Amino acid sequence: MAEKLNIDQIRADFPVLHQQVNKAPLIYFDNAATTQKPKAVIDALQHYYELDNANIHRGLHTLAERATTAYELTRKKLATFLNAPSTDQIIFTSGTTAGINLVAQTFGRANIEKGDQIIVSNLEHHSNIVPWQMIAQEKGAEIKVIPVSDEGVLDIEAFKALLNSKVKLVAVNHVSNAIGTINPIVEIIALAHAVGAKVLIDGAQSVAHLAVDVQALDLDFFVFSAHKLFGPTGVGVLYGKRDLLEAMPPYQGGGEMIKEVSFAGTTYNELPYKFEAGTPNIADVIALGAALDYLQAIPADALAAQEEALLAYATEKLQVIPGLKIVGTAPEKIAVISFMVNGVHPQDIGVLLDKFGIAIRTGHHCAQPLMERYGLVGTCRASFSFYNTFEEIDRFVLCLEKTLQMLQ
Amino acid sequence: MGQPINEIQEELIEEFGLFEDWADKYEYLIDLGKKLAPMTDAFKTEENVIKGCQSRVWLHAEKQGDLVVFQADSEAIIVKGMISMLIRVLSNHTPAEILASDLYFIDQIGMSQHLAQTRSNGLVSMVKQMQHYALAFS
């Protein structure tokens, strides 16, 4: 039995949760879009700007040294968080999308040729589709798609059938943002590697919920965003295997990423700086370090148990609403419930729930191919985090019923 | 001559003034959406669609004599309620009246959030498109 979290104490750490929205206490169920930030993260940002602000790596004064140390400390914490073999393989980006584009434009440009194939899945966010379409179009490569079942589970047999020696890269998410399915990445990676393909896992939706060990998973590339992990917006992380990162050409040119510049020719810096051109997002990287500290102070099994219990409770409560259908019923899911109600447009539900102070997401969730697969214009999505409560779910269900009465 | 645009706006402000809480206001808005005159099917074309990120709006305009007449529809009922009011205010007016109009009623009845959601519902584009039609017909 996992240790139980003290939810009141945890909620006290998140200032944003304690407010009225439209004259009702805020219920924040849009955690898959972005998570809220604990006070420790907000404090880290303020501390940095009030006391340590300086440009990093090249300054030799005290502030520059403090800022550099704090910035590089986050890289160390991330290496531990992901069990990366070295800190050099942790590259800071501006977010998941930037990480995917970096791999597409460097690894992709160097390794994908005419007639090659890139496999994505029907569950992907647009940001794990479009960068691959761009490089495929440029190179004359083909995109192949792993189909998804009615329940929201990837068809692994179909994936096996798609694999061949022309496949250079498989890009799938660890967890679906739209419907919460946890994909069998261990199997996907092993199968892809067996035909010599590399794998990029989009971890945007998984890092806040599941432990990721990049070595145990034999991951080639793993990307995620800090803001979905209780950290600030504008920071993302790319992990890559050393040999892959070293062989990849640089992405953007500029300061920081060079060793020596002359008009006769420029030599590039080593990992990870080769991919970090320009002054990085120093403050937010440092604050991400505070987010990791915060998260790691909470027992992981208690956190998972709370989210699982919230998912089970909300699923049971919602199912009794007439006409409501949960979209995505995979056996392996994180605490995300996508749903639709017969004859009601999701947007109308979202607008009225907001009037009750409840934040959910409505629409296609940047996963139009998945919506098309299910013949839907969009869904309503409630996504939970460990700071959510059973009482909030009760009020959500009650307000949803009132909303539907108004609309039907 | 039809009723002046600002007179219709004042009427709407008065109607919404009767409601004390948001739920009554929205029930009225939803009701307006349900009662919106159905759009002629032939006008619900790809050309007439205004794509919002979450829901679509169809808008058709034609000139009848000196006046511009609008028809519109949406997949979402609250957007339909907003459309119903916009048509009530702007339809059957001359291009010059439409171009000179200032839609202050939306703010006054507390519905400006639906025009602030620029990407999600297509309403902002619809208002712009209504003005474009008026300009084209003037």
Last residue of a domain, one of A268, A296, A324: A296
What is the C-alpha to C-alpha distance for residues A201 and A224, in angstroms, rounded to an integer?
9
Q: Is A385 exposed, middle or buried (0-12, 13-18, 19+ CB in 10 A)?
A: buried
User: In Å, how far are A79, A106, A376, B3, B66 from A30, measured between CA atoms?
Assistant: 28, 33, 20, 45, 49
Last residue of a domain, one of A245, A261, A296: A296
Same domain, A362 and A254: no
pLDDT at A142: 98
What is the C-alpha to C-alpha distance for residues A172 and A89, in angstroms, rounded to an integer?
20
pLDDT averaged per 10 residues, chain A (length 408): 82 98 96 98 98 90 94 98 98 98 96 98 97 97 98 98 98 98 98 98 97 98 98 98 96 86 87 92 98 96 96 97 97 97 95 97 92 94 98 98 95
| CATH number, residue B63 | 3.90.1010.10
pLDDT at A285: 98
pLDDT for B52 beyond 90: no
pLDDT for B118 beyond 70: no
pLDDT at B120: 66
What is the C-alpha to C-alpha distance for residues B114 and B121, in angstroms, rounded to an integer?
8
Number of neighbours of residue B28 by Cβ within 10 angstroms:
16
Q: How many structural domains compose chain A?
A: 2
pLDDT at B5: 96
pLDDT at A182: 98
What is the C-alpha to C-alpha distance for residues B50 and B120, in angstroms, rounded to an integer?
11
Same domain, A86 and A122: yes
pLDDT at A297: 95
| CATH number, residue A334 | 3.90.1150.10
Residue contacts between A and B (CB atoms, under 8 Å): 43
Residue count (chain B) = 138
pLDDT at B130: 93
pLDDT at B1: 58
pLDDT at A264: 85
Tell me the chain B residues in contact with residue A406 when contact means C-beta distances shorter than 8 Å. Answer: 23, 26-27, 30
| Out of A22, A362, A406, closest to residue B54 by CB | A362
Closest Cα in chain A, distance from residue B135 (Å): 31
Q: Assess if residue A237 is contained within a domain.
A: yes
pLDDT at B131: 93
Query: Which residue matches tokens 């109607």?
Result: B15
pLDDT at A259: 86
What is the domain extent for residue A352? Answer: 7-30+300-407
ipTM associated with this complex: 0.91
Beta bridge partners of A288: none
- Which H helix or E strand runs over A27? strand A27-28
pLDDT at A258: 83
Contact A345 B22 (CB under 8 A): no
What is the domain extent for residue B121? Answer: 5-137
Q: Assess if residue A396 is contained within a domain.
A: yes
What is the C-alpha to C-alpha distance for residues A70 and A79, in angstroms, rounded to an integer?
15
Q: What are phi and psi of B10, to 5 degrees?
A: -60, -40
pLDDT at A276: 93
| CATH number, residue A168 | 3.40.640.10
Same domain, A263 and A250: yes
Contact B75 A363 (CB under 8 A): no
Q: How many structural domains compose chain B?
A: 1
Pick from A10, A40, A82, A21: nearest CA to A310: A10
Q: Assess if residue A66 is contained within a domain.
A: yes
Contact B54 A22 (CB under 8 A): no
Q: Assess if residue A46 is contained within a domain.
A: yes
* pLDDT bucket at B54, cuts 50 / 70 / 90: confident
First-to-last alpha carbon distance for chain A, in angstroms, is 43
CA atoms within 13 A on the CB side of B105: 20
pLDDT at B117: 65
